[in-house]
């Protein structure tokens, strides 16, 4: 990595060229995409539940090894608060260990129950969470890094809805482990801002959905490329599970149910079920399904290869750093 432009504790921890972490993306985080991120100098995470069977997941890991030019990639484990719902995760973790994956991104709930297995296998784990309290407890549980999410994030930004700017100014100062800042990210200017705030890297997800290597239908990506920061909705607050998604028929329907005070989950199911999201990616009909989209969709203006997106971020960060040096 002779021409490494930004070396941080995160590039050292993951053994990557750039301090760019690409968060796991349900249905979309496959070998093709994750290895493109690896080749471009960042790190991405394969989402095991995106594949029909554990053996299909294993195939993806093998394919990612083949396509990554020996560069690192990881596995995303989205942990449920209900322990019984996490049985599959143990199987996914075993497969990841058998297939010599060295990096894990955990999210959703405390990684504590998985830490012994992760550490026995010598893996490095980054836990993604939304409050300083959760970040501290992940650090105490032994994680190697924390990704802290701000309210702008696609997916689950948490219930406190703390802005990324505040998270960045608070959390890195309070932790000993390196911190990656997330939520609303997509530019080189923001990467420099993350580092200025004291974070050691930047995490992107929504920005990458329009990448050429993402298998989603062209019409879905085209729609995202037209959207701005006002085009997302926060749904499911009524269940204490904020979710930032694309503004469309389904998210409006969910918001109407919430406005009525309806707390019967079955009423929501036709709009929020996961296979509807997958269907939107398959057929490009973005009007149905509650697909995760963050405010950073504003930066997803063009369908282009992962390498072009990451190079663009790094080139801009380099220019911005030079500009700041002149002040
Ligand atoms: C399409 C999509 C799917 C996602 N699926 C997952 C997932 O399966 N597991 C997870 O930990 N986070 C998931 N996330 C959250 C991201 O990894 C990341 O934390 C968040 O999107 C960062 O905010 P940003 O979208 O503004 O970059 C998803 C996000 C998107 C946009």
Mutational pocket test of ligand 1: of 20, 21, 22, 23, the residue with most ligand atoms within 8 Å of the beta carbon:
23
Mutational pocket test of ligand 1: of 37, 80, 248, 292, the residue with most ligand atoms within 8 Å of the beta carbon:
292
Contact 139/177 with Cβ under 8 angstroms?
Answer: yes
- The predicted pLDDT at position 1 comes to 66
Percent of the chain with pLDDT over 70: 99
Give pTM, 2 decimals: 0.97
- Tens-digit pLDDT profile for residues 154-190: 999 999 999 999 999 999 999 999 999 999 999 999 9
- Tens-digit pLDDT profile for residues 6-45: 999 999 999 999 999 999 999 999 999 999 999 999 999 9
Helix axes 132-141, 164-174, angle to 10 degrees: 40
- The predicted pLDDT at position 82 comes to 87
Q: Which domains does the chain have, with CATH numbers?
A: 9-215+299-325 (3.20.20.70), 232-292 (no CATH)
**Residues with a CB atom less than 6 Å from ligand 1:** 23-26, 28, 47, 76, 78, 107, 128, 149, 152-155, 182-185, 203-207, 209, 292-294, 296
Token pair 């990557």 is at which residue?
A: 16
- Tens-digit pLDDT profile for residues 198-215: 999 999 999 999 999 999
d(CA 175, CA 281) in angstroms, rounded, equals: 38
pLDDT at 106 over 60: yes
Strands 124-129 and 201-204: unpaired
d(CA 51, CA 274) in angstroms, rounded, equals: 13
Contact 10/40 with Cβ under 8 angstroms?
Answer: no
d(CA 296, CA 152) in angstroms, rounded, equals: 7
Burial of 2 by CB count in 10 Å (0-12 exposed, 13-18 middle, 19+ buried)? exposed
Count other C-beta atoms under 10 Å from residue 263's C-beta. Answer: 11
- The predicted pLDDT at position 95 comes to 98
Contact 68/321 with Cβ under 8 angstroms?
Answer: no
The DSSP bridge partners found for residue 148 are: 129, 181
Count of residues making up the chain: 327
> Where is pLDDT greater, at 32 or 83?
32
The C-alpha angle with vertex 87 and arms to 85 and 92, in degrees rounded to 5, equals: 120
Mutational pocket test of ligand 1: of 25, 28, 180, 227, the residue with most ligand atoms within 8 Å of the beta carbon:
25
d(CA 226, CA 296) in angstroms, rounded, equals: 12
> 170: which 2 tokens?
């608070």
- The predicted pLDDT at position 2 comes to 55
d(CA 168, CA 123) in angstroms, rounded, equals: 26
- The predicted pLDDT at position 285 comes to 97
Instruction: State which ligand 1 atom lies nearest to the alpha carbon of 47.
Output: 8
The DSSP bridge partners found for residue 204 are: 22
pLDDT at 3 over 80: no
Token pair 């500009």 is at which residue?
A: 323
């Amino acid at each position: 990595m002779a021409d490494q432009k930004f070396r941080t504790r995160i590039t050292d921890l993951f053994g990557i060229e750039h301090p760019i972490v690409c968060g796991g993306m349900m249905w979309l985080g496959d070998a093709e995409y994750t290895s493109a991120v690896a080749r471009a100098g960042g790190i991405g995470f394969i989402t095991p539940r995106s594949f029909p069977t554990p053996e299909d997941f294993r195939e993806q890991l093998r394919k990612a090894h083949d396509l990554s030019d020996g560069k690192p990639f990881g596995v995303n484990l989205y942990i449920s608060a209900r322990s019984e719902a996490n049985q599959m995760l143990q199987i996914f973790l075993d497969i990841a260990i058998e297939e010599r994956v060295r990096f894990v991104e955990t999210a959703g709930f405390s990684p504590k129950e998985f830490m012994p297995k992760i550490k026995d296998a010598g893996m490095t784990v980054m836990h993604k969470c939304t409050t300083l309290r959760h970040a501290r407890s992940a650090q105490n549980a032994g994680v190697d890094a924390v990704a802290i999410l701000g309210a702008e994030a696609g997916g689950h930004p948490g219930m406190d809805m703390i802005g990324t700017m505040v998270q960045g100014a608070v959390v890195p100062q309070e932790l000993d482990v390196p911190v990656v800042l997330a939520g609303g990210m997509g530019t080189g200017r923001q990467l420099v801002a993350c580092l200025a705030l004291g974070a050691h890297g930047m995490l992107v997800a929504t920005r990458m959905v329009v990448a050429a290597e993402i298998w989603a239908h062209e019409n879905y990506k085209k729609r995202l490329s037209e959207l701005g920061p006002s085009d997302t909705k926060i749904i499911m607050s009524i269940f204490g599970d904020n979710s930032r998604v694309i503004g469309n028929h389904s998210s409006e329907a969910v918001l109407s149910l919430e406005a009525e005070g309806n707390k019967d989950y079955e009423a929501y199911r036709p709009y929020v079920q996961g296979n509807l999201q997958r269907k939107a990616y398959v057929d490009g009909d973005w009007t149905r399904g509650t697909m995760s989209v963050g405010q950073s969709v504003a930066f997803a203006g063009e369908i282009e290869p992962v390498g072009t997106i990451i190079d663009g971020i790094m080139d801009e960060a380099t220019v911005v750093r030079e500009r700041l040096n002149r002040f």
